Chains A and B, each alone.
Chain A
Amino acid sequence: MHEDSNFQNFKAIIRCEDPNANLYTFVGSLELEEQQYPLTPQQLLLRDSKLRNTDCIYGAVIFTGRDTKVFQNSTGPPSKRSKVERRMDKIIYFLFGILVLMSFIGSIFFGIATREDLQDGKMKRWYLRPDDTTAYYDPKRAAVAAVLHFLTALMLYGYLIPISLYVSIEIVKILQSIFINQDLHMYYEETDKPARARTSNLNEELGQVDTILSDKTGTLTCNSMEFIKCSIAGTSYGRGVTEVERAMARRKGSPLEEEVTEEQEDKASIKGFNFEDERIMNGSWDNEPHADVIQKFLRLLATCHTALPEVDEENGKISYEAESPDEAAFVIAARELGFEFYERTQTSISVHELDPVTGTKVERSYSLLNVLEFSSSRKRMSVIVRSEEGTLLLLSKGADSVMFERLAENGREFEEQTKEHINEYADAGLRTLILAYRELDEKEYIQFNEEFTEAKNSVSADREELAEEIAEKIEKNLILLGATAVEDKLQNGVPECIDKLAQAGIKLWVLTGDKMETAINIGFACSLLRQGMRQVIISSETPESKTLEKSEDKSAAAAALKASVLHQLIRGKELLDSSNESLGPLALIIDGKSLTYALEDDVKDLFLELAIGCASVICCRSSPKQKALVTRLVKTKTSSTTLAIGDGANDVGMLQEADIGVGISGVEGMQAVMSSDIAIAQFRFLERLLLVHGHWCYRRISSMICYFFYKNIAFGFTLFFFEAYASFSGQPVYNDWFLSLYNVFFTSLPVIALGVFDQDVSARFCLKFPLLYQEGVQNILFSWTRILGWALNGVANAAIIFFFCIHAMKQQAFRKGGEVIGLEILGTTMYTCVVWVVNCQMALSVTYFTYIQHLFIWGGITFWYIFLLAYGAMDPYISTTAYKVFIEACAPAPSFWLITLLVLMSSLLPYFTYSAIQMRFFPLHHQMIQWFRSDGQTDDPEFCQMVRQRSLRPTTVGYTARFEASSRDLKAKIEDSL
């Protein structure tokens, strides 16, 4: 059926499951001409699949639109607000409560005073004419007057509720986002991509992240495999240095780093190949002791695979299309080492081989007899080929767990050394495969071929198992050649970044769709896992679960699987509870199927408890939905801030679910970026984004909000105190314009400057002392005590301002000419004091004075005097009570200036004393670092080392921790041996 028209009469019925979110399972059947064909995930193309190696395919559409698996995995776009803002709302409610309470108290007093003004027709305060009045002051209806007064008071004390706060915060956040976008340290030159804060209202949330949930491919790794090392005949080859080793070396301070960078510069890099060893490069393997083994090894690399060559017509260069990037890496490695695979037909594989004898390239072709394919249960693949000489060869490669047991007695010559090497490689985060071969005799092969072909062609349901069984029979008595190590290339700077984040106390969970082995490898590569960590592996890929799945009764199977997962979880929890530090921290590794059960309502608490107790958590084979569910679980149950980072469409759910979604604007398209809150180009920028910008923004916003409340409380309470002296009649002590302009002109700019520019410590120290980040995670700077402290400071300042002013300016004359104060003079004096106090308080709490701060703070105060002059000079019709009040009454009076100075200093005294004591005796992290800086200790490496060690916990991951742990082990060993 190769013509479209052939399908005109094609009729078949497809039965399949309902739309669901599960990406890795599919159950269905195709009924064609009264015959049933099973449909499995292999027959299903998911949305966004790419067509390769063929021009077209014919298919039937099963699900469309909302029914597709991708859509089933998507979650609705969320609306996100930061924790700080949510707490701010609560403060606003609290302040509103105070406002109502104040107004209520005022109204009661006002009502009583008003009622008493007229008793039995006798007027008390006759000058108010209580006998002839409006409803506002009517003694006969004092209750009504009180209610009306309540509304007036709400307006009057409304300054407690900082409406301008929302406006200021918006401005500040936008400016902060601009700073994030502008940061050159987060600009990726290669793709010309700066960081992009797509939403500005999560800036401060970046400073409070407790758990990072990260995708693997494209986020931690660049999705390219590099052939980096191999072990042939018990000798390890390859001087390439992995990213982790490099980071470790840098940590130890060895000169390795420089060498490496030099080497890298002069080497033209070949994608997928990072192998460096003069012993076998350029054909010199011939001189090695086991040259024949090396030859076989390389030949195996060139032939045992399913890749397709693509010859570039112009320059004859060959590139490869392979199912997985690591397979491509093998073929590339073979090519670079002299065994260039260049053609594949249905029955043959052709290779340019380097002939060690003549030193020239010869063409060799192998006829391909069988391919025993890779599957996750077999964990190996083999090919059977007939060489030009006519020998039958079984070439096999696979995971060490299955390969060593299949070796022949005489094929174990290099087993010991190879095993040692494999452990070494695995610890460095490399993916290892064992290569082995076997020569077959004709008889054996013919028998095998018959059985195999029969099994392949059978139509029973267990066709695959049958074929596997037969393949198993022939894949034995192998002779070990060696092992390969492929690096799943990490992105630049990932280990360093993870190390810093770990030191900052941020947990990193890896949620990946990859296989468990790959995930564990990456765990090692990123130092999320290390030797000495006990791994709790929860997997449903065990043989028992396989048999369970095959059983007819699906629900019973599910229940049994769940029970097994539960059992494993409980065992892990026991391990966690009993663990003492000497045994080392735990690492939890769980696969997708188990995760399905672990995320069910009755189990998830246990799962979460276990996961939180573990130093690292890796979820493999997880679907996008599961990623989102895990994120939600962490977010809701621990109420800590989560950050999800990913680059692909499969991370969208997770990004949307997390408190902050960070998208990597990499190669996998824009979908993740579109649904993210912040987009960065490289994983390593996360370090700066969180530790520097996150910390700063958190600190800025929280200081800003605290300060805002402080300044409005200080202002509002002076009004309230005055009311107590004006029989709560609702007369404001300040001129109307003073009232309106308070939040606009005289106090607004310094707060915005605080929110945009303040830095407790510079970026360099933020990165040098990552523990500083915990201030945000533990929410020290925006704790209720701190907020209440600022509120109390506001009340205290208001009290000082008001009572000092009224006592200093009682009834007596306030200047040489014998003039006494009036309402407008008291108001002006108090307002002057408020402006001074509030602005100087700002100057005290700011730790970073650029000329901008100076301009805004001192400018605000100066502007107040200018305003007073200008407003007072206007016609009395406009300026009313403020007419010439400064120039005529206040300015010439020395007492006015003396009162300002006194009130200012005594208002600042409580805060200054408090912060002096705190700084000296109970410093916070950032104050500690300010100490170090002013002591000049920050450049002392020994000191920094000490600080770093203090910030490590037994569960800390990252290479620093790994280094410390291994040196601790070493020390213990030495002590034991002594």
Chain B
Amino acid sequence: MEVEGGNTSANDAVARKIPIQSRRAKVFYQFTQQNLPACKPVLTPSWIVTTFLLMGVIFIPIGLVTLRTSHSVIEIVERYDTECIPEKFRGNKVSYIKDSTILKNCSLYLKVPKHMKAPIYIYYQLDNYYQNHRRYVKSRNDQQLLHGLKSNDTSSCQPEDSSNGLPIVPCGLIAWSLFNDTFKFIRESSELVVNRKNIAWKSDRNHKFGKQVYPFNFQNGTFIGGGSLDPSVPLSDQEDLIVWMRTAALPSFRKMYGRIEEDLDADDVIAVHLMNNYNTYSFGGKKKLVLSTSSWLGGKNDFLGVAYVFVGSSSIIISLVFMLLHVKNPRPYGETAYLSWNR
């Protein structure tokens, strides 16, 4: 790189004519004559090779560290949507799940592959569920969530804005379709304590959901969507709802259910008693239960590490190929081959 302080020789003559009184005048002169000091980088082979090498040298270690971190995370994923339908109903899962008279309890057994350090996060994962659908995302009323019945313009919540002539709090499709499977974890006949507090973003609890707003007329319609809410608990404490109402970005997503705040040892068997209430069968969605520890990067995902290593190593390869080509076929000093008419 070279920094050229304006092009000197050609403009000196003109520059001399104009008495340069101050630095400011000089800068102004350079500006109007488009002659400001500037850095003019040229992609010389040495620059190119160095840049690529440097990128490789930085990226590969980052990638390796990231990969290692991701591998240090222990994750148990168990799909339960089909298992939890009794054999005789497997032919018509939708009518089973819609039949409110059947108690839909179900048990799963999870084997801990490796020692899991607390806290262990419990997630439920839904696939093929479009929480990011435009109609769905818009179907809520933030004012009502914060101020309750005082805010009465709930047109965005239609058709779940009112039932039986009374407004619904919280209104809208998101709240109405609240996830309502529940899980109980038992290890060696003693129940594991699941901490279900502080699973939602703090800003949501404090600033988006009212402390004085209580559920009202919720799930009272003819068509009941998802779970119901305890009308005596204010919205700001209904963390399941708050978590659910942060709409997911992609059709396959996890939501936090709670935390287990004790270590799990390798080969522990955990029995999960769950209530399989939520209907994902009509649209073919999967339901999964996830137990996962977390690292400084979060959960288990190799993509970042692999991508870093890939980008890093490909830039090293590019730099080597480039260097090879350059050495094999050096550019003669003062080559002018490209400066002619017939191109």
Binds A, one of B106-114, B117-125, B184-192: B117-125
Chain A nearest CB, measured from B241 CB (Å): 14
CA distance A920 to B46 in the complex (A): 11
Chain B nearest CB, measured from A314 CB (Å): 36
| Residues of chain A lying within 8 A (CB to CB) of residue B300 | 812
Query: A923 and B33: CB pair below 8 A?
Result: no
Indicate if A4 sits at the interface (CB-CB under 8 A): no
Query: B299 and A807: CB pair below 8 A?
Result: no
Indicate if A973 sits at the interface (CB-CB under 8 A): no
Indicate if A821 sits at the interface (CB-CB under 8 A): yes
Chain A nearest CB, measured from B94 CB (Å): 8
Indicate if A540 sits at the interface (CB-CB under 8 A): no
| Residues of chain B lying within 8 A (CB to CB) of residue A916 | 43, 48, 322
Knowing A731-B132, A850-B36, the reply to whether A771 touches B331 (Cβ < 8 A) is no
Contact with A along B229-250 (1 / 0, CB 8 A): 0000000000000000011111
Query: A849 and B336: CB pair below 8 A?
Result: no
CA distance A822 to B203 in the complex (A): 14
CA distance A261 to B59 in the complex (A): 64
Binds B, one of A83-91, A304-312, A926-934: A926-934
Indicate if A316 sits at the interface (CB-CB under 8 A): no
Binds B, one of A129-137, A251-259, A363-371, A959-967: A129-137
Indicate if A820 sits at the interface (CB-CB under 8 A): yes
Which of B51, B299, B308 is the one whose CB lies under 8 Å from A818?
Answer: B299
Indicate if A950 sits at the interface (CB-CB under 8 A): yes
| Residues of chain A lying within 8 A (CB to CB) of residue B339 | 769, 771, 925, 928, 947, 950-951
Binds B, one of A470-478, A531-539, A880-888: A880-888
CA distance A895 to B299 in the complex (A): 10
Query: A759 and B34: CB pair below 8 A?
Result: yes
Q: How many residues of B contact A (CB 8 A)?
A: 102
Query: A808 and B303: CB pair below 8 A?
Result: yes
Query: B136 and A128: CB pair below 8 A?
Result: yes
Query: A888 and B203: CB pair below 8 A?
Result: yes
Indicate if A235 sits at the interface (CB-CB under 8 A): no
Indicate if B282 sits at the interface (CB-CB under 8 A): yes
Chain B nearest CB, measured from A758 CB (Å): 10
CA distance A759 to B322 in the complex (A): 27
Q: Which residue of B lies closest to A817 (CB)?
A: B294
Chain A nearest CB, measured from B319 CB (Å): 10
Q: Which residue of A lies closest to B177 (CB)?
A: A127
Knowing A814-B298, A815-B298, the reply to whether A806 touches B250 (Cβ < 8 A) is yes
Chain A nearest CB, measured from B89 CB (Å): 17
CA distance A901 to B61 in the complex (A): 14
Query: B247 and A822: CB pair below 8 A?
Result: yes
CA distance A68 to B311 in the complex (A): 75
Indicate if A906 sits at the interface (CB-CB under 8 A): yes
Which of B256, B296, B314 is the one whose CB lies under 8 Å from A894?
Answer: B296
Query: B42 and A762: CB pair below 8 A?
Result: no
| Residues of chain A lying within 8 A (CB to CB) of residue B283 | 124-126
Chief secondary structure at chain A's binding surface: helix
CA distance A807 to B131 in the complex (A): 18
CA distance A8 to B33 in the complex (A): 66
Which of B42, B159, B298, B303 is the one whose CB lies under 8 Å from A931?
Answer: B42
Knowing A909-B311, A925-B338, the reply to whether A895 touches B298 (Cβ < 8 A) is yes
Indicate if A212 sits at the interface (CB-CB under 8 A): no
Indicate if A937 sits at the interface (CB-CB under 8 A): yes
Indicate if A641 sits at the interface (CB-CB under 8 A): no
Indicate if A848 sits at the interface (CB-CB under 8 A): yes
CA distance A457 to B135 in the complex (A): 104
- Of A127, A826, A921, the most chain B CB neighbours within 10 A belong to A127
Indicate if B24 sits at the interface (CB-CB under 8 A): no
Q: Which residue of A lies closest to B293 (CB)?
A: A818
Query: A731 and B137: CB pair below 8 A?
Result: yes
| Residues of chain B lying within 8 A (CB to CB) of residue A125 | 130, 133, 282-283
Contact with A along B47-60 (1 / 0, CB 8 A): 01001000100010
Indicate if B313 sits at the interface (CB-CB under 8 A): no
Query: B130 and A727: CB pair below 8 A?
Result: yes
Query: B42 and A920: CB pair below 8 A?
Result: no
| Residues of chain B lying within 8 A (CB to CB) of residue A822 | 246-249
Query: B253 and A889: CB pair below 8 A?
Result: no
Indicate if B86 sits at the interface (CB-CB under 8 A): no
Knowing A729-B130, A915-B43, A919-B43, the reply to whether A136 touches B203 (Cβ < 8 A) is no
Query: B37 and A812: CB pair below 8 A?
Result: no
Indicate if A764 sits at the interface (CB-CB under 8 A): yes
Query: A731 and B296: CB pair below 8 A?
Result: no
Query: A813 and B32: CB pair below 8 A?
Result: no
Knowing A816-B295, A818-B259, A947-B339, the reply to whether A726 touches B334 (Cβ < 8 A) is no
Query: B225 and A813: CB pair below 8 A?
Result: no
Indicate if A893 sits at the interface (CB-CB under 8 A): yes
Indicate if B304 sits at the interface (CB-CB under 8 A): yes
Knowing A729-B134, A849-B40, A920-B326, the reply to whether A127 touches B173 (Cβ < 8 A) is yes
CA distance A764 to B12 in the complex (A): 12
Which of A807, A811, A824, A915 is the one whose CB lies under 8 Å from B253?
Answer: A811
Contact with B along A712-733 (1 / 0, CB 8 A): 0000000000000111011101
Query: B282 and A906: CB pair below 8 A?
Result: no
Knowing A127-B173, A816-B295, A880-B142, the reply to whether A950 touches B340 (Cβ < 8 A) is yes
Query: A812 and B301: CB pair below 8 A?
Result: yes
Q: Which residue of B lies closest to A772 (CB)?
A: B339
Indicate if A685 sits at the interface (CB-CB under 8 A): no
Query: B304 and A895: CB pair below 8 A?
Result: yes
Indicate if B324 sits at the interface (CB-CB under 8 A): no
Query: B66 and A898: CB pair below 8 A?
Result: yes
| Residues of chain A lying within 8 A (CB to CB) of residue B173 | 127-129
Q: Which residue of A lies closest to B6 (CB)?
A: A762
Indicate if B76 sits at the interface (CB-CB under 8 A): no
Q: Which residue of A lies closest to B247 (CB)?
A: A823
Query: B256 and A804: CB pair below 8 A?
Result: no
Knowing A759-B34, A847-B41, the reply to whether A935 touches B130 (Cβ < 8 A) is no
Query: A184 and B298: CB pair below 8 A?
Result: no
Query: B303 and A849: CB pair below 8 A?
Result: no
| Residues of chain B lying within 8 A (CB to CB) of residue A893 | 298
Query: B42 and A913: CB pair below 8 A?
Result: no
Give the residues from 791 to 821 in chain A that come closer than 8 angstroms, CB to CB, to chain B: 804, 806-821
| Residues of chain A lying within 8 A (CB to CB) of residue B48 | 916, 919-920
Knowing A128-B136, A818-B121, A935-B333, the reply to whether A909 touches B298 (Cβ < 8 A) is no
Query: B40 and A848: CB pair below 8 A?
Result: yes
Query: A182 and B134: CB pair below 8 A?
Result: no
CA distance A876 to B132 in the complex (A): 20
CA distance A123 to B159 in the complex (A): 15
| Residues of chain B lying within 8 A (CB to CB) of residue A771 | 339, 341
Indicate if A757 sits at the interface (CB-CB under 8 A): yes
Query: A812 and B304: CB pair below 8 A?
Result: no
CA distance A951 to B14 in the complex (A): 29
CA distance A804 to B304 in the complex (A): 8
Query: A898 and B135: CB pair below 8 A?
Result: no
Chain A nearest CB, measured from B197 CB (Å): 13
Indicate if B297 sits at the interface (CB-CB under 8 A): yes
Query: B251 and A811: CB pair below 8 A?
Result: no
| Residues of chain A lying within 8 A (CB to CB) of residue B287 | none
Indicate if A112 sits at the interface (CB-CB under 8 A): no
Question: 26 A-B Cβ contacts within 8 A?
Answer: A126-B283, A127-B136, A128-B130, A182-B33, A184-B14, A726-B130, A764-B7, A764-B10, A804-B307, A811-B250, A811-B254, A821-B249, A823-B131, A877-B143, A898-B308, A899-B304, A902-B307, A905-B55, A906-B307, A909-B311, A917-B322, A920-B48, A920-B325, A930-B40, A930-B42, A940-B334
Which A residues fall within an 8 A CB radius of B?
122-129, 132-134, 136-137, 179, 182-185, 505, 696, 725-727, 729-731, 733, 757, 759, 762-764, 767, 769, 771, 774, 778, 804, 806-827, 847-852, 876-877, 880, 883-884, 888-889, 893-895, 898-899, 901-902, 905-906, 909, 912-913, 915-917, 919-925, 928, 930-935, 937, 940, 943, 946-947, 950-951, 953
The 5 A-B residue pairs with the shortest CB-CB distance, nearest first, are A812-B299, A826-B249, A127-B177, A729-B134, A813-B299
